[in-house]
Amino acid sequence: MEFSNDLSVIILAAGKGKRMKSETPKVLHRLCGKPIIYHILKAVMSLGPKNILAVIGHKKEEVRKYIADDFPSVLTVDQDKQAGTAHAVMMAGSYFDKMGSNILVLSGDSPLITSRTLKSLVGLRQKEDLAASILTSIADNPYGYGRIVKDKKGKVLKIVEEKDAAQAEKKIHEVNSSIYCFKKDLLVKNIKNIGTGNSQGEHYLTDIIEMFIDKGEKVQTYIVPDHFEASGINDRAQLASAEERIQLRINKGHMENGVTIRNPSSVFIEDTVIIEPDAIIKPSCFLKGETIIAKGAVIGPFSQITGTKIGSGTIVNSSVIIGADIGPDNNIGPYSYIRPDTITGHRVKIGAFCEVKKSTIDMGSKVPHLSYVGDTKIGSGVNIGASSVTVNYNGFSKFKTIIEDDAFIGSDTMLIAPVRIGKGAIVAAGSVITRDVQPDAMAIERAKQKNIRKGAAKYRNRKKTDREK
């Protein structure tokens, strides 16, 4: 269901979040790689509203920049003095005439809210022609929440905040989520009459509900089954709890789409990651950014992948990959580090304890173990022996190494860039190569070995004499 021109959204994101004890605005604290406000904006964007406004205040330029960069269609309005939730809505007053007949108001710190619940809330207001529909939940421990006061027939009478609640009202378990859908005309007409007669001396948006009731308007609650979906974040413990729930929601979505996740509670997957069916994610993996895992890939255990494409059938074991494009049927790790701008072809092996940076490795080539490959172009069918290094930096500039198809690089080789190893060439183990090697040539660069007869015994005797002195 899309409400298009009938729905506008106001997100209240001006608060400081004192209990977070942070220099970062509360709505920019991150959950599963994205700010709190991202999760809310994603939910409301799926409703297809006419417009969305975010009311910002504390460190507003940081919040404005994030919204402009990631959600450019969202408008921002300033609330320089935080004088309550009703005052925040009034700051959007210059846009009222451009809004739809339904105005959805949300707190900027409720990242667990889903578009399905918001659709139900707006749909209830429309269907029953209500002045307002209120999203509520049943809390086992309602402390700190505004209570929904109803009469014996279940009719809403008012919302009372914790600090203003009488003892009998504090025993109520139906609590306010601070998410509402209003009939625009009635909201605009009444909001300016909200006073500050409360313990905080602020303009509470909740007071408008009692105004509606006193004027004979209809108000109903929509009780969301999961209390945590409607809850906000006020401190670091609640931030951690919300992240855990969002993560399990993300992981469950991937599993429902045909991905196997071993021990899902140990696997961290950001919202932006795409995983195709029949991929397997083993325990203790972190998948972040614009990462794509193709079908049949096996990731982990203990792997970190950020902003990377992983080809079908590829195995990544206990390794870190950032900003790379890994081809199909590769075998990576264990304990390798693949850095940005690395591209591999089909059936490439990058074995244990290797580091690869800004390099291309073509089909069937192998860097089996303990090697560094940087600023290098490796052709197909190449074998790089253990403990080999492409020496790409001279202290001032980076230089490129080219290793053509079917070349063989022996163990413990240093290739001093810029250098080219020709097709089919062999470089003997232990060589330091400073000049190009022609195709099918063999390059050997070693000092002549010298064996000193009885040299080891003489050395030990000399050391013993030195100690006795």
170-219 pLDDT per residue, tens: 999 999 999 999 999 999 999 989 988 776 778 889 999 999 999 999 99
**For residues 338-359, average pLDDT:** 98
220, part of any domain? yes
Q: Residue 466's pLDDT band (boundaries 50, 70, 90)? A: confident
**For residues 309-333, average pLDDT:** 98
Strands 34-35 and 30-31 come out as antiparallel
Looking at the DSSP bridge assignments, the partners of residue 325 are: 309, 343
Q: How far apart are the C-alpha atoms of 211 and 213, rounded to whole Å?
A: 5
Looking at the DSSP bridge assignments, the partners of residue 7 are: 102
Residue where the block lists tokens 């192998």: 366
**Which residues 6+ apart lie within 8 Å of 5 measured at CB?**
50, 100
Q: Which of 157-166, 259-268, 315-324 has the lowest mean pLDDT?
A: 157-166
Q: Residue 1's pLDDT band (boundaries 50, 70, 90)? A: low
Please check the confidence at residue 130 and state whether its pLDDT lies above 60.
yes
Write down the catalytic residue from 39, 58, 203, 369. Answer: 369
303, part of any domain? no
Q: Residue 110's domain spans which residues?
A: 4-230
Shared-domain flag, residues 74 and 220: yes
Percent with pLDDT over 70 in the chain: 99
The chain-wide mean pLDDT, for the chain, equals 95
**The pLDDT value given to residue 179:** 97
Which residue type does 106 have?
A: L
Q: How far apart are the C-alpha atoms of 184 and 104, rounded to whole Å?
A: 9
269, part of any domain? no
**The pLDDT value given to residue 451:** 93
SS3 206: coil
Q: Residue 371's pLDDT band (boundaries 50, 70, 90)? A: very high
266, part of any domain? no
**For residues 132-155, average pLDDT:** 94
Which of 210, 230, 250 corresponds to the end of one domain?
230
Can you give the pTM of this predicted structure?
Answer: 0.88
**For residues 45-54, average pLDDT:** 95
**For residues 344-364, average pLDDT:** 98
406-445 pLDDT per residue, tens: 999 999 999 999 999 999 999 999 999 999 999 999 999 9
369 is catalytic: yes
319, part of any domain? no
State the CATH number of the domain containing residue 23: 3.90.550.10
Which of 175, 208, 230 corresponds to the end of one domain?
230
HSE (CB half, 13 Å, CA atoms) of 60? 14
Q: How many domains does the chain have?
A: 2
**The pLDDT value given to residue 3:** 59
226-285 pLDDT per residue, tens: 999 999 999 999 999 999 999 999 999 999 999 999 999 999 999 999 999 999 999 999
Which of 171, 195, 230 corresponds to the end of one domain?
230
Q: How far apart are the C-alpha atoms of 253 and 269, rounded to whole Å?
A: 11
Q: How many CB atoms lie within 10 A of CB 329?
A: 18
- Taking CA 95 as the corner, what is the angle to CA 113 and CA 84, rounded to the nearest 5 degrees? 60
Q: Are 340 and 356 in contact (CB under 8 A)?
A: no
**The pLDDT value given to residue 2:** 55
